[in-house]
Structure 1
Amino acid sequence: MERVPHRFSRNHWFRRFGSTLAALACTAGGTGSATVATAATTADVNLLKNPGFESGLAGWTCSGDSGTTVASPVRSGTAALKATPAGADNATCSQTVAVRPGSSYTLSAWVQGAYVHLGASGTGTTDVSTWTPGAGDWQRLTTAFTTGTNTTSVTVRLHGWYGQPAYVADDVALTGPGGGDPGEPVPAAPGGLTAGAVTASSVALSWNPVPGATGYTVYRDGTADRSVTGASATVTGLAPATSYRFEVTATNAAGASPRSAAVTATTAAGSGGGPDVPRHAVTGYWQNFDNGATVQKIADVPRQYDIIAVAFAEATAVPGAVTFALDPALKYGEAQFKADIAAKQAAGTSVVLSVGGERGTVRVNDAASAANFADSIHALMQKYGFNGVDIDLENGIDPTYMTQALRALSAKAGSKLVITMAPQTIDMQSTSAGYFRTALNIKDILTVVNTQFYNSGSMNGCDGKVYAQGSVDFLTALACIQLEGGLAPSQVGLGLPASPRGAGSGHVAPSVVNAALDCLTRGTGCGTFRPAKAYPGLRGAMTWSTNWDAANGNAWSNTVGPHVHGLP
């Protein structure tokens, strides 16, 4: 969140250097743009393991945890690869395959995205690659090579390009004569899948062992959740009172079996009933500083807001620890501040302390800083009466230790703790990103993720297509990533600026927010993107900020608030 009206856009780099990137991509090696291969003969065998990513990433290695599997878009089957370049990492996903010396091979893959590359190295002759500058729909890349006289293995690689959005790939194939010992056959599908003990956040599963299997992959609602070696697993990180569908595949060196018959299980309601947040909620950030928006007291925030996030807690000299003090410029006494918080809570509104913002420097990156974070937040909750914490760290997040910190805080604060998040759009493009991983790690105690759908430029939606910021399609297609990526609908909210002055870009009329909410919850009011299903449990919407809303006559809360509270 911004402390000044405008900020540097993440797309600024691409606008300045996009033409240079395109020129570099043309020299990145290989055969240029994609071509169409001739059909494989019936004698050809696909030598790749898990070529359609039906068994998650089994058999594949992705650099920097850049890869994951998604249920949409897929070309065939139920899964595809999605990999996200970040920093100096171009999201390379590879597999090494046994081949025969002096033999001919054809390599192909179906892809979506910009500057997607496919190639093979270690061929013993000339390494090959091919690429596409942009594929809005499924496009086939193909190339061919002949192995050297002593070559017994090659490495197949897919990768994107620096600074580009995620790419998607499916149905990768390396056809030609197999190398080495063919080994044992692919195992049969597991039988006897049964759901056992359930809690508010976990389900225990068991199944019959499969002869020849060396491991198993558990699928939750169609997406690979975890891999185990035995014939049982406990799936954790689930939302209370939620129904889930589970399947299992058996794996060995030859590949993965078909999926088992599915079993469904519903988690328990959870102790204490969870936070006192309405089914559909409006979140607003309250500014503890004056940047030109209306200066408010907590008591001034309209009743339409169900969660008020006080912005911001500040870092201290102790790693991970934070502190909070009212800005003297507001002329707001501490006693009155506490009384106003208590009054809001008595009226049914939760008030949380937000950590971070655009200039936040809080770092939680080891066990000590995680403990310091939890201790300091809990102390501030006790001092001021906050209901919980909001994570708005815009300069990176360590999912391991932030998870540890939030679980420690939960243990101190109890089941009524409210945990919200406000990641930037790019932070929720992939389940492998730190913010997304943190959200999934604490799914059983997480209240809502209100992604900032602004200050981002164009981004990929869950269908792999690029959508322009500031439209119904942008909001719905990007929220779909979270809804299909593992978060419960009740944990997904749409974050927008309250006025054009509240952000550098991405403001939309409140009517557009309402249309996106209707599209996601009812299947009406959609643009060109239409979700595969409705999500009536969607939590709601968030705005930056209540102060900018007030400066604009409270037009945002007066329009979006009643609409959120009237959702199904």
Structure 2
Amino acid sequence: MVFDVFDRRPRRWLGGALALAVGAGLTVLGTAAPAQAADINNAKNSGFETGLANWTCTGGNGATTSTPVRTGAAALKGTPAGSDIARCSQTVAVKPNSSYTLSAHVQGSFVYLGASGTGTTDVSTWSPGGTGWSQLSTSFRTGASTTSVTVYTHGWYGQSAYYVDDVSVFGPDGGGGGEEPPVVPPVPTGLAAGTPTATTVPLNWTASAGATQYHVYRNGTKVQTATTTSATVTGLTPDTSYQFTVSAANAAGESAASAPPVTVRTRIEDTNPTVPRHAVTGYWQNFNNGATVQKLRDVSPNYDIIAVAFADATTTPGELTFNLSPALGYANVAEFKSDIAAKRAAGKSVIISVGGEIGNVTINSDASATAFANSAYALMQEYGFNGVDVDLEHGINSTYLTKALRQLSAKAGPRMVLTMAPQTLDMQSTGTEYFKLALAVKDILTVVNTQYYNSGAMLGCDGKVYSQGTVDFLTALSCIQLQGGLDPSQIGIGVPASPRGAGGGYVSPSTVTAALDCLARGTNCGTFRPAQTYPGIRGAMTWSINWDAHAGNAWSNVVGPHVRGLP
């Protein structure tokens, strides 16, 4: 079968006709008559780009859809319901005593295509179904006085929705005008970026009527062509800002690029390994309160997780920013970022802490949860933080903070480090907001380092009261979390690094190591002994790295090696 291809023919039909001609994996039912030079596609709105114009569907069970589509921005979706098979039809003008080829691309189970009122023998064909688009095709000849036929498609009883695109009734011009020639599609709207990686940016946009393809531009240069309303741009440079636009195109030409451009910064390349099985967390002070002032590069290598304290709240509820203190001696922010990158390259996690004794961020609505996630992720991208620490000491709303942390995790990816530092009272039972938060985000939670200080005597998991500053206090209160549903790997013992680090509750480093041995090995316990051992216990935390340095790193020099030696 040979077709003459003319520029005036609609591109949507020509693609299907050429595919039919070469038999590219398609099953053609019936024998088509030779096409003449004047042959056209007599069907109108054959790609459903103008909704259901020219089509009638039974039972109100036909509609257009933007996915899946074969070409353009739309396709027909028919949904059989009850005794209705979602029959959609169009009356097509034809020429008497002429041969026509009827074809369409379909998707779904038991999809039928046919023509009635031909004046000769009515025809139909069907597909039993399969994955992706397949082409149905048949042919018919009109009678001596036939000037119109009805072409139709439908599904079958009890079957799911079917889809149809690119219908053609190819043959002599019946006088109905046929398919309108394409016009340049409008500019696509709704361009948005998904979560970038270090080298890729996913994009999506709203379909443009009549478009058969879309061109993606990066910084003004076309880099990709797509036939759907999404694309992922690859081969990008980590930690680099890019601007993206998209245009729509068809046989008539290309639209202008979308505006304004969407700006996206790729993530910093992840050189940081996962947090070790047993880890030491320390808070690095972004202020000078009399403790040793140190740059990040000077932090002891005994710390595995370094929490930069603290982020600052803005006037927008939930939103964070960070202001590097000039008291630290950094020449500029770039030097600080370089120190973060160096620590991460050395296998350490550097995270941004939110809250503290005087800091507070309010997250009590969907809007504030989104503001938190967006701003925290922006800080992670800008500075190279690979996680966040929640140290809110003025009350939290677990419902909305859970939403915020999950949104952040979706942006940052599965290797985001998430830590918490609740006060002792916050983890006394599973009914507290902090405990509810920890359980709600357990699947993305790295460690809860409860502050076992500034509290006085508290209840342990056995219902007995234990004095602050003892091995029993540390183990019996950790037991509450272990029995309450957190994994041992999510439990850390938080203590002051020196007597000056807190108002009360300082314990010697040897008390911390004894408590870890009791939980992990069942040795060096006090009067309280856990019912079982927890060799997966994560480790310990201290406030702060700077107070530890002020005391000659006496805390980390003892606790760090001991944590690494846990089973």
- TM-score, normalized by length of structure 1? 0.52
- 1: CA distance, partners of 2:473 / 2:525: 11
SS at structure 1 position matched to 2:381: helix
- 1: CA distance, partners of 2:323 / 2:273: 25
In the TM superposition, residue 331 of structure 1 has moved relative to its aligned partner by 2.3
In the TM superposition, residue 325 of structure 1 has moved relative to its aligned partner by 1.1
1:492 aligns with 2:491: yes
For residues 298-309 of structure 1, the aligned pairs below 5 Å read 298-309=296-307
In the TM superposition, residue 328 of structure 1 has moved relative to its aligned partner by 1.5
Q: For residue 208 of structure 1, what is the aligned residue in structure 2?
A: none
* CA deviation profile, 1:132-156 (whole Å, cap 9, x unmatched): xxxxxxxxxxxxxxxxxxxxxxxxx
After TM superposition, the structure 1 stretch with the greater mean CA deviation from structure 2, 368-377 or 329-338, is 329-338
For residues 59-208 of structure 1, the aligned pairs below 5 Å read none
User: Number of paired residues?
Assistant: 296
In the TM superposition, residue 474 of structure 1 has moved relative to its aligned partner by 0.1
In the TM superposition, residue 497 of structure 1 has moved relative to its aligned partner by 0.3
Task: Tell me if structure 1 keeps the 8 A contact 2:354–2:360.
Answer: no
In the TM superposition, residue 411 of structure 1 has moved relative to its aligned partner by 0.4
Task: Tell me if structure 1 keeps the 8 A contact 2:366–2:400.
Answer: yes
Q: For residue 557 of structure 2, what is the aligned residue in structure 1?
A: 558
Q: For residue 211 of structure 1, what is the aligned residue in structure 2?
A: none
Q: For residue 456 of structure 2, what is the aligned residue in structure 1?
A: 457
- 1: CA distance, partners of 2:526 / 2:542: 22
In the TM superposition, residue 336 of structure 1 has moved relative to its aligned partner by 1.0
Q: For residue 521 of structure 1, what is the aligned residue in structure 2?
A: 520
Q: Which amino acid aligns with 1:338?
A: K
For residues 228-307 of structure 1, the aligned pairs below 5 Å read 276-307=274-305
Q: For residue 346 of structure 2, what is the aligned residue in structure 1?
A: 347
- 2: CA distance, partners of 1:334 / 1:492: 33
- 2: CA distance, partners of 1:498 / 1:449: 18
- 2: CA distance, partners of 1:300 / 1:482: 34
Q: For residue 336 of structure 1, what is the aligned residue in structure 2?
A: 335
Q: For residue 397 of structure 1, what is the aligned residue in structure 2?
A: 396
Task: Tell me if structure 2 keeps the 8 A contact 1:446–1:491.
Answer: yes
Q: Which amino acid aligns with 1:391?
A: V
Q: Which amino acid aligns with 2:321?
A: T
* CA deviation profile, 1:512-535 (whole Å, cap 9, x unmatched): 000000000000000000000000
* CA-based RMSD: 1.1
Task: Tell me if structure 1 keeps the 8 A contact 2:273–2:347.
Answer: no
- 2: CA distance, partners of 1:438 / 1:519: 27
- 1: CA distance, partners of 2:556 / 2:350: 17
Q: Which amino acid aligns with 1:339?
A: S
SS at structure 1 position matched to 2:281: strand
Q: 1:478 to 1:275 in 2, by over 3 A?
A: farther
* CA deviation profile, 1:388-416 (whole Å, cap 9, x unmatched): 10000000010000000000000000011
Q: For residue 407 of structure 2, what is the aligned residue in structure 1?
A: 408
SS at structure 2 position matched to 1:326: coil
In the TM superposition, residue 360 of structure 1 has moved relative to its aligned partner by 1.2
Task: Tell me if structure 1 keeps the 8 A contact 2:453–2:506.
Answer: yes
Q: For residue 383 of structure 1, what is the aligned residue in structure 2?
A: 382
Q: Which amino acid aligns with 2:277?
A: R
Task: Tell me if structure 2 keeps the 8 A contact 1:365–1:402.
Answer: yes
Q: Which amino acid aligns with 2:507?
A: V
SS at structure 1 position matched to 2:443: coil
Q: Which amino acid aligns with 1:410?
A: S
- 2: CA distance, partners of 1:401 / 1:444: 17
Q: Which of 323, 332, 338 is the equivalent residue of 2:321? A: 323
Q: For residue 530 of structure 2, what is the aligned residue in structure 1?
A: 531
Task: Tell me if structure 2 keeps the 8 A contact 1:275–1:417.
Answer: no
Q: Which amino acid aligns with 2:313?
A: A
Q: Which amino acid aligns with 1:395?
A: H
Task: Tell me if structure 2 keeps the 8 A contact 1:275–1:447.
Answer: no
* CA deviation profile, 1:446-498 (whole Å, cap 9, x unmatched): 00000000000000000000000000000000000001100000000000000
Task: Tell me if structure 2 keeps the 8 A contact 1:451–1:493.
Answer: yes
Q: Which amino acid aligns with 1:481?
A: I
Q: For residue 427 of structure 2, what is the aligned residue in structure 1?
A: 428
Q: Which amino acid aligns with 1:567?
A: L
Q: Which amino acid aligns with 2:315?
A: A
* CA deviation profile, 1:93-131 (whole Å, cap 9, x unmatched): xxxxxxxxxxxxxxxxxxxxxxxxxxxxxxxxxxxxxxx
- 1: CA distance, partners of 2:392 / 2:403: 16
- 2: CA distance, partners of 1:461 / 1:560: 23
SS at structure 2 position matched to 1:368: helix
Q: For residue 234 of structure 1, what is the aligned residue in structure 2?
A: none
- 2: CA distance, partners of 1:538 / 1:310: 23
Q: Which amino acid aligns with 1:489?
A: P
- 2: CA distance, partners of 1:373 / 1:470: 35
In the TM superposition, residue 275 of structure 1 has moved relative to its aligned partner by 7.0
- 1: CA distance, partners of 2:273 / 2:378: 19
- 2: CA distance, partners of 1:373 / 1:353: 13
SS at structure 1 position matched to 2:338: helix
- 1: CA distance, partners of 2:359 / 2:394: 8
The runs of 5 or more residues in structure 1 that have no matched partner are: 1-271
Task: Tell me if structure 2 keeps the 8 A contact 1:352–1:418.
Answer: yes
Task: Tell me if structure 2 keeps the 8 A contact 1:364–1:398.
Answer: yes
- 1: CA distance, partners of 2:405 / 2:495: 25
- 1: CA distance, partners of 2:402 / 2:390: 11
In the TM superposition, residue 330 of structure 1 has moved relative to its aligned partner by 1.7
Task: Tell me if structure 2 keeps the 8 A contact 1:429–1:460.
Answer: yes
Q: 1:275 to 1:319 in 2, by over 3 A?
A: farther
Q: Which amino acid aligns with 2:309?
A: A
Q: For residue 367 of structure 2, what is the aligned residue in structure 1?
A: 368
Q: Which amino acid aligns with 1:360?
A: G
SS at structure 2 position matched to 1:444: helix
Task: Tell me if structure 2 keeps the 8 A contact 1:275–1:415.
Answer: no
- 1: CA distance, partners of 2:368 / 2:308: 22
SS at structure 1 position matched to 2:506: coil
- 2: CA distance, partners of 1:329 / 1:527: 43
Q: 1:483 to 1:275 in 2, by over 3 A?
A: farther
Q: For residue 509 of structure 1, what is the aligned residue in structure 2?
A: 508
Q: Which amino acid aligns with 2:291?
A: A
Q: Which amino acid aligns with 1:543?
A: T
The runs of 5 or more residues in structure 2 that have no matched partner are: 1-269
1:542 aligns with 2:541: yes
* CA deviation profile, 1:310-364 (whole Å, cap 9, x unmatched): 0000110000001001111222121111011101001100000000000112010
Q: 1:296 to 1:357 in 2, by over 3 A?
A: same
Q: For residue 475 of structure 1, what is the aligned residue in structure 2?
A: 474
- 2: CA distance, partners of 1:361 / 1:510: 30
Q: Which amino acid aligns with 2:504?
A: S
- 1: CA distance, partners of 2:427 / 2:374: 28
Q: For residue 314 of structure 1, what is the aligned residue in structure 2?
A: 312
* CA deviation profile, 1:2-58 (whole Å, cap 9, x unmatched): xxxxxxxxxxxxxxxxxxxxxxxxxxxxxxxxxxxxxxxxxxxxxxxxxxxxxxxxx
Task: Tell me if structure 1 keeps the 8 A contact 2:305–2:351.
Answer: yes
For residues 441-456 of structure 1, the aligned pairs below 5 Å read 441-456=440-455
- 2: CA distance, partners of 1:438 / 1:296: 33
Task: Tell me if structure 1 keeps the 8 A contact 2:425–2:455.
Answer: yes
- 1: CA distance, partners of 2:411 / 2:344: 20
Which has the higher relative contact order, 1 or 2, with Cα contacts under 8 A spaced 6 or more apart?
1
Task: Tell me if structure 2 keeps the 8 A contact 1:293–1:547.
Answer: yes
- 1: CA distance, partners of 2:322 / 2:422: 21
- TM-score, normalized by length of structure 2? 0.52
